[in-house]
Amino acid sequence: MSYLLPDIVHINHQPLLERGDGPICLVLAPNQELAQQVQQVAAEYYRACQLKSTYIYGGTPKRPQIRDLERGVEICIAKPRRLIDFLEYGKTNLRRITYLVLVEADRMLDMGFEPQIRKIVDQIRPDRQTLMWSATWPKEVRQLAEDFLKDYIHINIGDWN
Kindly report the number of other CB atoms within 10 A of residue 15's CB atom. 8
Tell me the pLDDT band of 160, cut-offs 50, 70 and 90: low
Give domain status of residue 89, yes or no.
yes
Strand order across the 75-78 sheet: 53-56, 75-78, 25-28, 99-102, 129-132
Give domain status of residue 159, yes or no.
no
CATH (domain of 46)? 3.40.50.300
Give domain status of residue 160, yes or no.
no
37 lies in which domain range? 4-148
For the chain, the DSSP string reads -TTHHHHHHHHHTSPPP-TT---SEEEE-SSHHHHHHHHHHHHHHHHHTT--EEEE-SSS-SHHHHHHHHH--SEEEE-HHHHHHHHHTTS---TT--EEEETTHHHHHHTT-HHHHHHHHTTS-TT-EEEE--S---HHHHHHHHHH-SS------S---
What pLDDT is stored for residue 137 in this prediction?
79
Is the Cβ–Cβ distance between 145 and 132 less than 8 Å?
A: yes
Which whole number is the average pLDDT over 110-128?
93
Question: Measured between alpha carbons, how far is 131 from 116 in angstroms, rounded to an integer?
Answer: 17
Give domain status of residue 122, yes or no.
yes
Give domain status of residue 153, yes or no.
no
pLDDT digits (tens, 9 = 90+) for 50-85: 999 999 999 999 999 999 999 999 999 999 999 999
pTM: 0.91
Residue 1 has pLDDT above 80, yes or no: no
Q: Count the domains in the chain.
A: 1
Give the residues across from 54 on adjacent strands: 76
Residue 161 has pLDDT above 60, yes or no: no
Give domain status of residue 129, yes or no.
yes
